[in-house]
Structure formats: C-alpha cells, structure tokens
C-alpha cells in the first residue's frame, strides 16, 4: 500500500507551547494555502482520504474535495497536564524522566509513546485491510513519524523507539510518501 502523509498547517498557538492532543485550529488562510498546494500537486485525486479529527487536520481534509474518513487513532499524542503549557514551564525533572523512558513514560499523565504507537499501528493495520492500493492521510508529525517507522518494519517497540528518537523535521503542510 502506498500512503501519502500530509501534516496539518501551522496551528494558531504561540511558539513554545505544548499542544499535542489539544484541539487547536489553524488559520483559514494557512488551511487554504496547504489545500491549494495539494490540489496543484494532483492530490487527493481519486485517493481515499483519512484524517485525524482534530481541527487542524479535519479542516484541511474537508477542503480537499473528497469524502473524508476521520480516525481518532491518527490524533497527536496526549500530553495530559502539559497540554497548552509553555515547554519551559514544565518541570525539568519531568522532561528528564520522559527522556529516560521514551517508550513508557506518560508526559503530564497523558499517553506514552507506546500508547500512541499501538493506536497508530491499529490504524495502519486497518488501512492495509481496506485493500486500497493508495490513500492520503492528513495527520500530525508524531503520527507521521510512527507511520513511517511502522512502514519500515520491525516490532512495534522498535518502530516506536525510532519514531520517538528521530528529530522532528516535518514541515507544516509537509508530505511524506510511503511506498511498498
């Protein structure tokens, strides 16, 4: 299966704020610009579209002119009490505890990387079961890194560790193509 992964536009959140699972919006102009760029690239074309239900993804997916299947398993990580807090206000000891146990620590009491990996892997498996040869997914940087790691193979633990350990280099509105 070939997957076209699209990251949502930049959300309307101040720099330096932790906003994983928070349902923050992107500006209408940012959404329109990313949607226009995708259409100019011929996307989604006849591809089925799947998206995180969080507004920054859902509003982009809705503008693509194709039916959208929303799947909560594509949502970004839930950072619990860290959500909408400045990163520099989060106690250093908590950030260090997360760094020491990337897979199992629950930042702010939210989800662990393994929790997110399990739900993203379940979504990935369900997509493969649809037998669509290709699909377009509008989601988040964390979900995209996990999908790419799962696509590369290995155990779910290995994929989760690869995804959590790599630098975040996915631009807002960025595209990753995963091909078999």
Distance between CA atoms of residues 26 and 38, nearest Å: 16
Over residues 94-109, the mean pLDDT reads: 97
pTM (whole model) above 0.75: yes
Over residues 110-138, the mean pLDDT reads: 97
Over residues 57-74, the mean pLDDT reads: 97
Over residues 109-137, the mean pLDDT reads: 97
How does residue 41 score in pLDDT terms, banded at 50, 70 and 90? Answer: very high
Q: What percent of the chain has pLDDT over 70?
A: 100
Side by side, the strands of the sheet bearing 49-51 are: 68-70, 49-51, 134-139, 2-7, 175-178
Residue 53: other Cβ atoms inside 10 A: 15
**Helices marked H in the chain — which ranges?**
28-40, 55-62, 92-100, 113-129, 141-152, 156-165
How does residue 176 score in pLDDT terms, banded at 50, 70 and 90? Answer: very high
61 φ/ψ angles, rounded to the nearest 5 degrees: -60, -40
Higher pLDDT among residues 151 and 169, named by residue? 151
Distance between CA atoms of residues 135 and 180, nearest Å: 13
104 within 8 A of 97, measured Cβ to Cβ: no
Distance between CA atoms of residues 11 and 31, nearest Å: 9
Intra-chain end-to-end CA distance of the chain, in Å? 6
């Amino acid at each position: 299966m070939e997957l076209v992964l699209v990251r949502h536009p930049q959300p309307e959140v101040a720099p330096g704020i932790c906003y994983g699972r928070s349902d923050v919006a992107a500006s209408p102009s940012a959404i329109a610009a990313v949607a226009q760029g995708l259409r100019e690239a011929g996307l989604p074309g006849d591809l089925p579209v799947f998206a995180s239900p969080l507004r920054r993804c859902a509003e982009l997916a809705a503008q693509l002119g194709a039916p959208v299947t929303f799947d909560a398993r594509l949502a970004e990580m839930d950072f619990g009490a860290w959500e909408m807090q400045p990163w520099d206000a989060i106690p250093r000891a908590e950030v260090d505890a997360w760094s020491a146990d990337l897979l199992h620590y629950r930042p702010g009491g939210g989800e662990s990387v393994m929790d997110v990996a399990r739900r993203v892997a379940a979504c990935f498996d369900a997509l493969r079961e649809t037998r669509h040869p290709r699909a377009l997914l509008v989601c988040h940087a964390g979900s995209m890194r996990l999908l790419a790691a799962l696509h590369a193979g290995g155990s779910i633990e290995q994929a989760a560790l690869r995804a959590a350990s790599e630098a975040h280099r996915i631009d807002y509105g960025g595209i990753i193509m995963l091909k078999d």
